[in-house]
Chains A and B, each alone.
Chain A
Amino acid sequence: MEFTILIVLLPLLTFLVLGLLGMKLKACTSGLIGTFSMGITALLSYATAWLYFTGAQVDGVYQKWIPFNIEWLRFTDALHIDLGVLLDPISVMMLVVISTVSLMVHIYSMGYMKGERGFERYYAFLSLFSCSMLGLVLAPNIFQMYIFWELVGVSSYLLIGFYYTKPEAIAASKKAFIVTRFADLGFLIGILILSFYTHTFDFLTLTSGDHSIFAEAAGTTFMGGSVMAWALALIFMGGAGKSAMFPLHIWLPDAMEGPTPVSALIHAATMVVAGVYLVARLFPVYYFEAPEVLAMIAYIGAFTALFAAVIACVQTDIKRVLAFSTISQIGFMMVALGVSGYGGHHGLGYMAGMFHLFTHAMFKALLFLGAGAIIHAVHSNEMSHMGGLRKHLPVTHITFLIACLAIAGIPPFSGFFSKDEILSAVFAFSPWLGGVMSFIAALTAFYMFRLYYNIFWGTPAQHEHTPHEAPASMTTPLVILAAVTCVAGFIPFGKFVTSDSADYTIHLDPFVAGMSVGIALIAIIVATLFYRKASSIPVRLAQTFSGLHRAASHRFYIDEVYLFVTKRIIFNGISSSIAWFDRHVIDGAMNGMAFLTQRAALAIRGFQSGQVQQYAVVLLSGVLILTILVVFLLCC
């Protein structure tokens, strides 16, 4: 299985080739190189998955393999950073997800980005992102994960700011980078605390079930919690930043300024689930060492899911709707992990969260790519510029509808199965939370169909030219992803990924399944009534709840709060006074010294007049004085 290292190295090589030689290549050549290399990476990933899931079981439990590991940096015996490859069910599952979506996006971008300036740069960045994301999921130790974590952050920054002449894109890329970077600070501190007390970075050691390594950390308390809980909470903060959990979600909607395929790849399917993956990776540690942190994750996830779903109902930019929907769905995954137990039926939440990650990656990528095709056709992100597009974009229409049905949780599409498992797990944890999550599921169905009807039905908007279906390079990925979305739900996911890597057979809970389908159908019917034809109900509702509507369309003023905190308090209050001190006291002292030196120099430069005779006078007077002194001393 040593070839798995190629899965990371191949995109890296492509990045280097396209980054260094891209200027010399023709645009379509560089696109083909990127796509071809991604295709090979995808094949390697599928081969890995096949070999792993057919060969790694011992006594019905999937073993963890480390086919490749080298010591990269050695500081001390305890502190050394390795780079390697770890294969276990979730990392192999993520390999499949990432390489599939990435390949689809590569193919799609050939059509979508055609003729854009910086085409080869775009493919170079896509390769860099694929390399870092694959390296992240394959990381056998938390430090390698952190390194690649930052790499996905920077490639996300580069891709959001791809249209670097657009001020909004630059602002969005900076915002994404700074917010996630701030969260990663917590992640780094968490890693350091964790490894300081456990003396290891390795996931295998951390999750081996040996509780003695945590004894020291669990015994030490800090501000009312054990150090272990603090470390895990800080690590979760990193995950929350990447996965856009409240209150660190503000960067994701703005990240939609990037090219749409990038949103599909990074901000819907892969990078934003890195936080979920992180929690899943450390799940035994969370569950056994800090269950209170796990509960906190569940509540944060639930709140975020609700919050984002409410906002998604009133947004008018289709990509923003999808962005908030992504935040909401990641909230679902976090809740699933948060309510999960360990092993067998208790581990249902874990399995469901991973399952939802898998299905969501497919149908959300499909939704974004579909949105890209729509934007490609009408040259606008605003819903009001769309309407009645179903005749013009038949393929996009059908695939988009499939994805909407999947995310709404209608059988037999994939989203139904995974969301249903999540809901069962949550109901088993607490019926109250289960009710909330079901309500969010209904909201999801509602806003997705609001989006769907506004785009494809309703009153057709006026266009300069008739919208036309996207080229084959764009529709092919749509069809493939739609096919995956149709069948992915029937994958016996419990056979592959469970909390303790043992087999688990999924049972559909008829009560939960029936209820979730029922409320999803009701929500869809409501959306149909509201939006299929022009209707005055939404407007009247908006007027009735004008406060809520306005707050939601301003995203509950979270950005304003951030601006207030950063601009008013940090910049104006703290930074400006520090800057004043720096400018006037520190710089003043330095300038004063320079000024004094210069003045002194001016005062004594008169001696260096250049007049030889003057020098001679000084020399002679010196000699004279010395002579007189010597004579005087010798004689007396």
Chain B
Amino acid sequence: MEIQMQYYLLLGVVMFFAGVYGFITRRNLIAVLISVELNLNAVDINFAVFNRYLYPGELEGMFFTIFAIAIAAAETAVAIAIIINVYRNLSNIEVRNLDQLQEPTETTEPEEKA
């Protein structure tokens, strides 16, 4: 019995939202990166599935998948490099410590004119 398209899509949705959940809740940068990979892979599955079921005989979806995998690999390399640098600077890779780009938080009162 051929597996119906909906199951594949269901798997994609579950993977995608698992990735979103992980991206939002994980504290470790590596885990966040893994979550992003989950998102990407969920999308890859969708591409492959739509190509396979809706346009049999065509290959565009497959190619998109292959490109996405290649790009994800490159992106992971970059992300790992960033994470290593973060570790060098902060000695940890907690996401919530990465807020150095925002303004300092002390409040300043409006200047009183003399």
A613 with B95: CB separation less than 8 A:
yes
Interface segment, one of A75-83, A134-142, A603-611: A603-611
B23 with A598: CB separation less than 8 A:
no
Q: Which residues of B contact A612 (CB under 8 A)?
A: 32, 95, 98
B6 at the binding interface (Cβ < 8 Å)? no
Task: Give the docked Cα–Cα distance between A594 and B113 (Å).
Answer: 12
B113 with A610: CB separation less than 8 A:
no
Q: Which residues of A contact B23 (CB under 8 A)?
A: 613, 616
B98 with A591: CB separation less than 8 A:
no
Instruction: Please provide the chain A residues from 575 to 634 with a CB less than 8 Å away from any CB of chain B in the complex.
Output: 587, 591, 594-595, 598, 602, 605, 608-613, 616-617, 620
| Contact string against A for B residues 92-114, beta-carbon threshold 8 Å, 1 for contact and 0 otherwise | 00011011111100011110110
B110 with A611: CB separation less than 8 A:
no
Task: Give the docked Cα–Cα distance between A613 and B95 (Å).
Answer: 8
B20 at the binding interface (Cβ < 8 Å)? yes
Give the number of chain A interface residues (Cβ < 8 Å).
16
A610 with B24: CB separation less than 8 A:
no
B98 with A602: CB separation less than 8 A:
no
Provide the main secondary structure of the chain B interface.
loop
Decide: A617 near B99, CB < 8 A? Known: A591-B110, A595-B110: no
B101 with A610: CB separation less than 8 A:
yes
Task: Give the docked Cα–Cα distance between A553 and B108 (Å).
Answer: 60
Give the number of chain B interface residues (Cβ < 8 Å).
19
Q: Which residues of A contact B109 (CB under 8 A)?
A: 598
Q: Looking across the interface, which residue of chain B has its beta carbon closest to that of A608?
A: B102
Instruction: Please provide the chain B residues from 1 to 44 with a CB less than 8 Å away from any CB of chain A in the complex.
Output: 20, 23-25, 32
A610 with B110: CB separation less than 8 A:
no
Q: Looking across the interface, which residue of chain B has its beta carbon closest to that of A593?
A: B110
B100 with A613: CB separation less than 8 A:
no
A594 with B110: CB separation less than 8 A:
yes
Q: Looking across the interface, which residue of chain A has its beta carbon closest to that of B27?
A: A613
From A591, A602, A605, give the contact of B113 (CB < 8 A). A591
Q: List 10 A-B contacts (CB under 8 A).
A: A587-B113, A598-B108, A610-B98, A610-B100, A610-B101, A610-B102, A612-B98, A613-B23, A613-B95, A620-B20
Interface positions of B (Cβ within 8 A of A): 20, 23-25, 32, 95-96, 98-103, 107-110, 112-113
The 7 A-B pairs at the shortest CB distance, nearest first, are namely A610-B99, A610-B102, A595-B110, A594-B110, A598-B110, A613-B24, A617-B24
